[in-house]
Amino acid sequence: MKPSVPPITVARALTEARCRLEEASVESAGIEAARLLAFTLDLTGSELILQRDRPLTRGQQVRLAGLLDRRAAGEPLQHIEGTAAFRDLVLRCDGRALIPRPETEQLVELVIGWVRARGGPAAPDWPWRPLASVLDVGTGSGAIALALLSEQIAIRAVGIDVSAEAVALARENRRLAGLEDRFELVVCGPDPYAVLEKGERFEVIVSNPPYVRDDEIEELQTEVRRHEPRIALSGGEDGLDVIRRVVRGARDRLEPHGALFLEVGAGQGNRVAGLLREAGPWRAISVRADLADRDRFVVAEL
Q: How many residues does the chain have?
A: 302
Instruction: Name the DSSP letter for residue 85.
Output: E
Between CA 71 and CA 32 the distance in angstroms is: 9
pLDDT band at 1 (very low <50, low <70, confident <90, very high): very low
Instruction: Report the candidate in 184, 198, 141, 188 with the shortest Cα–Cα distance to residue 161.
Output: 188
Please check whether residue 77 is in contact with residue 36, taking contact to mean a CB–CB distance below 8 angstroms: yes
R_g of the chain computed on alpha carbons: 22
Query: Does pLDDT of 175 surpass 70?
Result: yes
Q: What is the pLDDT of residues 191-244, one digit of tens each?
A: 999 999 999 999 999 999 999 999 999 999 989 999 999 999 999 999 999 999
Three-state secondary structure readout of 13-32: HHHHHHHHHHHCCCCCHHHH
The predicted pLDDT at position 193 comes to 97
The predicted pLDDT at position 2 comes to 57
* CA 12, 14, 19, 21 torsion-angle sign: positive
Question: In whole angstroms, how far apart are CA 71 and each of 120, 141, 154, 295?
Answer: 48, 22, 37, 31
The predicted pLDDT at position 123 comes to 53
- Classify domain 83-301 by CATH number: 3.40.50.150
CA atoms within 13 A on the CB side of 193: 20
Instruction: Report the candidate in 153, 116, 107 with the shortest Cα–Cα distance to residue 288.
Output: 107
Count of other CB atoms within 10 angstroms of residue 92: 18
pLDDT band at 280 (very low <50, low <70, confident <90, very high): confident
The mean per-residue pLDDT over the stretch 125-154 comes to 93
Query: Does pLDDT of 258 surpass 60?
Result: yes
Q: Any residues with CB less than 8 A from the CB of 151 and at least 6 apart, and which?
A: 87, 88, 112
Element (H, E) at 286: strand 284-289
What integer best gives the mean pLDDT of the chain? 94
Alpha helices in 45-199 (DSSP H): 45-50, 58-72, 77-81, 102-117, 143-150, 164-177
Q: What is the pLDDT of residues 79-128, one digit of tens each?
A: 999 999 999 999 999 999 999 999 999 999 999 999 988 765 555 556 68
Between CA 158 and CA 170 the distance in angstroms is: 11
Instruction: Report the candidate in 39, 41, 59, 63 with the shortest Cα–Cα distance to residue 51.
Output: 41
